[in-house]
Structure 1
Amino acid sequence: MSHSNTPDQPLLDASSLDAEALYRKLSQQVKTALQGASNVAIVGIHSGGAWLAERLADELQLSERLGFIDVSFYRDDFSEKGLRSDVKPSQIPFDVEGSTILLVDDVLYTGRTTRAAINELFDYGRPARILLAALVDRGDRELPIAADFLAGTVKLDKQQSLQLQRADDGGFSLTVVHA
């Protein structure tokens, strides 16, 4: 199974991000790479990554091997950030041991959320492999983490964040939020 890591993505304009087009690009990368792979499961990181994972699992016919992680308790900056009011329980309804896990997040930034998600996954068992899919990479990594599948790259100021929204019809949109 091969996949393409695409670090040299063209920089996207943050003011005109098309989340649906980015999703289609990410979905195509994932489908191509996972074609013929066995024992694949998808785990989405709450909340945006969970929405993306749900749609990917549906397209890949992996709904029985779909899980969700909320990394709130696993973050190394938990004491600084505190507990959010919308913490959800993690749900991993399949055997992680020996699985190829596609870990899905909406925005890759410092790498801390990804690290926390990997730590939590190992509490459920030892996967054979973990692949990371992210809709958008905004750079400024604090940990040596890179996406295996990536739809786009955007540069934002430190006081900005990128938020994925899901409409009632399931469609995605991205918004730049100023702190």
Structure 2
Amino acid sequence: MQKKLILDSDLLNITVSRLCHELIENHRDFTDTVIIGMQPRGIYLADHIHRNLEKILKRSIPLGYLDATFHRDDFRRREIPVKPNENRIPFIIEGKNVVLVDDVLFTGRTIRAALDAMIAFGRPAKVELLVLIDRKYNRELPVAADYVGKYVNTLASQRVLVELQAQGHKHNKIWLINKD
């Protein structure tokens, strides 16, 4: 197994800062905007973005977590039953602008499932997608991110590994792994 470093801790901080400023350009003071992190791994990036935005804007911004496990089109095709994660959306998204956050955009199927799952919490005015890594050339559904930390050309046989301190890792690092 070969690992290639895509982003180290310093570059990740710069990337998250840039993404936050892009969000501020489009959502100003976040009056009608909420942030929703995708379970399980997107919540760590959502937390990081949320902390940075609140520090910059000096105001509270609604943050939630969304699990799309039971809305996936491959839910019943797995040999081992999947264990769902917690939905934690303590606010109504009806009429709000939603920034959906995930760590890696690959086939687009998880995002499709998230859009279905989100409807249980109301009908948003608009949904935008923010991802840390966009794996180009692997999309199975017509899904595109509005905010991207880094575009990475990958093969279907490769995978992206996101290691964040919030997940218990020593350093923030994003790797491209070749499965040999």
TM-score range (shorter-chain normalised) is 0.7 to 0.9
| CA–CA distance in structure 2, aligned partners of residues 16 and 27 of structure 1 | 23
- 2-structure distance, mates of 1:166, 1:75: 25
2:100–2:129: 8 Å Cα contact kept in structure 1? yes
Aligned length: 165
Residues 31 and 107 of structure 1: CA distance in aligned 2, closer, same or farther (over 3 Å): same
Task: Confirm whether residue 46 of structure 1 aligns to residue 46 of structure 2.
Answer: no
CA contact (8 A) 2:129 2:146 kept: yes
Instruction: Write the deviation string for residues 52-85 of structure 1: whole angstroms up to 9, x where unpaired.
Output: 1111112222755110012111111112235334
1: CA distance, partners of 2:33 / 2:87: 18
Matched, 1:150 2:148: yes
Aligned partners of 1:55, 1:109: CA distance in 2, in Å?
A: 21
Q: 1:110 aligns with which of 94, 107, 111?
A: 107
Match of 1:160 in 2: 158
Q: Aligned equivalents of 1:170 and 1:50: distance in 2?
A: 18
* Rounded Cα–Cα distance in structure 2 between residues aligned with 1:169 and 1:79: 32
In structure 1, the partner of 2:50 is: 57
Deviation, 1:48, is 2.5
Partner Cα separation in structure 1 for residue 89 and residue 95 of structure 2:
14
**What SS does the corresponding residue of 2:16 show, helix, strand or coil?**
helix
Deviation at 1:121, TM superposition (A): 0.7
Q: Which runs of 5+ in 1 are unaligned?
A: 1-13
Alpha-carbon offset, residue 15 of structure 1: 2.0
Q: Which amino acid aligns with 1:158?
A: A
- Structure 2 unaligned blocks of 5 or more: none
Backbone CA RMSD of aligned residues: 2.3
User: What residue identity is the alignment partner of 1:95?
Assistant: I
Asked whether the equivalents of residues 102 and 132 of structure 1 are also in contact (C-alpha less than 8 Å), the reply is yes
> What is the percent sequence identity of the aligned residues?
31
Partner in structure 2 of residue 17 of structure 1: 6
Q: Find the partner of 2:135 among 138, 141, 154.
A: 138
Provide the TM-score with structure 2 as the length reference: 0.81
Q: 1:34 to 1:153 in 2, by over 3 A?
A: same
Q: Which amino acid aligns with 2:50?
A: A
Structure 2 counterpart of 1:8: none
Q: Report the CA distance between 1:178 and its aligned residue.
A: 4.5
